[in-house]
Amino acid sequence: MIASVILSADVLILGGGMAAAWAAIAAAEAGASVIVVDKGAMGTSGVTATGGPGHWWVPDDAALRRDAVERQTAKAQGLGDPEWMARIIDLTWRYLPQIASYYPFGSDGRGGRFINGVRGPEYMRALRQLALARGVTVLDHHPAVELLANADGTIIGARGVALISEETWEVRAGATIVATGGCAFRSGLIGSHTNTGDGLLMAAEAGADLSGMEFSISYSLSPEWASTRTLPYTAARFYDGGGRELDIPPPRAGHAHDQALGKAMSEGPVLADLSDAPPALHGVLRRIQPLTAAAFERRGIDLWRDRFPVKLFGEGTIRGVGGLRIIDADCRTSVPGLFAAGDAATRELVTGASSGGGAVNSAWALSSGRIAGAAAAQQARATLARQTGTGLGRIGLHPQRAAQALDTATITASVGHEIHDYKKAFWRRADSLAQSATVLEGHWQALADHGRAQGRDLVELRAVAAMTASARWVTAAAQVRAETRGIQFRDDAQALDPALAHRLLVGGLDTVWTRPDRATATATATAAATAAASAELAA
């Protein structure tokens, strides 16, 4: 790629969602010049903008925080890090109120402000305004396509495409943060269309490794015509196409709930009946989630009285927890000069094997954004001059064989099927995972051999490659973790295997590899010993 526009900054941030915004704000507050480049638009990009994130919210009280960390450590099933948990609780508590000048906090019903739950569109609007007020330069519709490295392999910026003009831009920076979000494999999950794992691909091309990709079995229920927030549906009864009520374990049953729904949906239509929903919800749904009300009203459906067809929308690594491995307390990746934040990073540090749920994940996005932003600003100060570098992008730019037009829509649908098909995902088995690996390998080979495009087509081709790469990492990690732990369920290995009480690293493009994260295995053993000792003391 040859750039027609070259800019420079201390800190370059890839992505425009919640973590990217907090990273930009923190870097600017630390005195750095900051450029944000996003595929969409900061303010509407990503899954926060259409959501309503609650944040992990524990008052500044030592006993309360210790309890919260202990509960979360237990949920993490040996793969979490209590120090990181305590850290993100503290950062969230201190920094979320900072948006007050731009966000219309509502009442807490007791004369104060309700802070920890925020509505997505207003939250992302506030973060954009706060970032702009701190002097951040925001380039919307400017997706990064490839990272740039100097001769040492240190990342010194990125190149990408300006979507409207289709010109190539380049930003040279002292530090670069990947905050491009997770990957939902184009499942239709609301807000996730641009969450295609682009940053994971770019980082992997630079040699970064990932962690926790097997923890990715996560779905949300919605009307079959469009993904919405799930607030109205938690008390739903379910019926088959013949009007017979289905015996579905309740949402709290977790995997069994999803399995039962997935099985029924594989066999025919499933209809939801919300007549049991909390009556108080009827009057306020519109005031809490105006978008959800519209999804029914515009189809002439009374969601409290009419039965309507539903399906499960895959959430991929968004509510799953895998992403780029974080190697230190500053949110550095394994590649020099490259930081990661939010859903682009592994959240195992704070979630372990469990889903982050909304609250822990949001606290992570805010905190990892702030940590990466501040650390990147500090690193940039130590970097003397803007350097020129070599583009590391290969797939879609430099095919191994003759360039050919590829049917990206078909590849996307197939990749999505391998990851989100109910039978494959809810009943992961060695044989079906091996079949998926073979299918995905074929797609990768075609992309690597023949993929080449320019402008907007290049951005889409790279998105398809990123989803394919992400799916291969998910599948490889799920193959090796032959046990059931947290949100990883193996139908052929339904027990916890103590020998797998460590995180699992995965990486590679043409050849995908996995290996145990020995560092965390040691830390896990230490944490387990400490927990056992404190349990003894408590008893």
Partner 1 sequence: MIGALIAERCTNCNACVKACPALVFDPGEQTPVLARVADCQTCYLCELACEADALWVNPDAASSWAPPHRHLLESGQLGRIRLDSGWNEPADAGQLDDYRLLGPLLNEGVEIAGRRYAQKHGG
Q: Which stretch binds partner 1 (CB under 8 A): 150-158, 241-249, 321-329, 349-357?
A: 241-249
Selected binder of partner 1 within 1, 291, 482, 521 (CB under 8 A): 291
Q: Which stretch binds partner 1 (CB under 8 A): 74-82, 103-111, 382-390, 431-439?
A: 103-111
The minimum distance between CB 257 and partner 1, in angstroms, equals 9
Selected binder of partner 1 within 284, 405, 413, 529 (CB under 8 A): 284
Selected binder of partner 1 within 2, 59, 107, 244 (CB under 8 A): 107
Site for partner 1 in 182-211 (CB under 8 A): 188, 190-194
Q: Are 462 and 447 in contact (CB under 8 A)?
A: no
Beta pairing class for 137-139 and 34-37? parallel
Selected binder of partner 1 within 14, 19, 49, 171 (CB under 8 A): 49
Selected binder of partner 1 within 28, 35, 295, 477 (CB under 8 A): 295
Cβ neighbors of 301 (< 8 A, separation 6 or more) are 308
**161 or 397, CB closer to partner 1?**
161
**187 or 333, CB closer to partner 1?**
187
Q: Would you give the binding string for partner 1 spanning residues 117-156, x where CB under 8 A is met?
A: xxx-xx-----------------xx---------------
Amino acid identity of 172?
R
User: Which among 489, 123, 134 is positioned nearest to 320, based on CA atoms?
Assistant: 489
Q: Are 323 and 347 in contact (CB under 8 A)?
A: yes
Q: Applying CB under 8 A, does 446 fall inside the site for partner 1?
A: no
**291 or 496, CB closer to partner 1?**
291
Cβ neighbors of 41 (< 8 A, separation 6 or more) are 16, 140, 141
Site for partner 1 in 373-412 (CB under 8 A): none
Selected binder of partner 1 within 288, 327, 430, 496 (CB under 8 A): 288
DSSP E strands in 39-167: the ranges are 106-107, 113-114, 137-139, 144-149, 155-161
Q: Are 419 and 471 in contact (CB under 8 A)?
A: yes
Selected binder of partner 1 within 2, 244, 247, 305 (CB under 8 A): 247
Selected binder of partner 1 within 15, 43, 78, 181 (CB under 8 A): 43
The minimum distance between CB 188 and partner 1, in angstroms, equals 6
**289 or 378, CB closer to partner 1?**
289
Q: Is 503 helix (H, G, I), strand (E, B) or coil?
A: coil
Q: Are 140 and 38 in contact (CB under 8 A)?
A: yes
Selected binder of partner 1 within 152, 242, 298, 498 (CB under 8 A): 298
The minimum distance between CB 466 and partner 1, in angstroms, equals 16
Q: In this structure, what token pair is assigned to residue 241?
A: 């196409």
**Cα 299 from Cα 395, distance rounded (Å):** 42
**183 or 295, CB closer to partner 1?**
295
Q: Applying CB under 8 A, does 482 fall inside the site for partner 1?
A: no
**Cα 220 from Cα 366, distance rounded (Å):** 23
User: Which among 295, 285, 303, 39 is positioned nearest to 181, based on CA atoms?
Assistant: 39
Site for partner 1 in 299-328 (CB under 8 A): 299
Q: Applying CB under 8 A, does 233 fall inside the site for partner 1?
A: yes
Q: Which residues pair with 171 in a beta bridge?
A: 7, 158
**Cα 308 from Cα 233, distance rounded (Å):** 11
Q: Would you give the binding string for partner 1 spanning residues 330-369, x where CB under 8 A is met?
A: ----------------------------------------
Q: Applying CB under 8 A, does 442 fall inside the site for partner 1?
A: no
Q: Is 480 helix (H, G, I), strand (E, B) or coil?
A: helix
Cβ neighbors of 195 (< 8 A, separation 6 or more) are 46, 47, 180, 181, 182, 183, 184, 316, 318, 343
Number of residues that bind partner 1 (CB under 8 A): 71
Amino acid identity of 109?
G
Q: Would you give the binding string for partner 1 spanning residues 53-92, x where CB under 8 A is met?
A: -x--------------------------------------
Q: In this structure, what token pair is assigned to residue 456?
A: 């907007």
Selected binder of partner 1 within 111, 151, 252, 494 (CB under 8 A): 252
Selected binder of partner 1 within 294, 403, 499, 519 (CB under 8 A): 294
Q: Which stretch binds partner 1 (CB under 8 A): 59-67, 91-99, 276-284, 349-357?
A: 276-284
Q: Applying CB under 8 A, does 413 fall inside the site for partner 1?
A: no
Q: Which stretch binds partner 1 (CB under 8 A): 167-175, 277-285, 418-426, 435-443?
A: 277-285
In this structure, what are the phi and psi dihedrals at residue 101, rounded to the nearest 5 degrees? Answer: -70, -15
Cβ neighbors of 381 (< 8 A, separation 6 or more) are 10, 31, 32, 174
In this structure, what are the phi and psi dihedrals at residue 99, rounded to the nearest 5 degrees? Answer: -85, 0
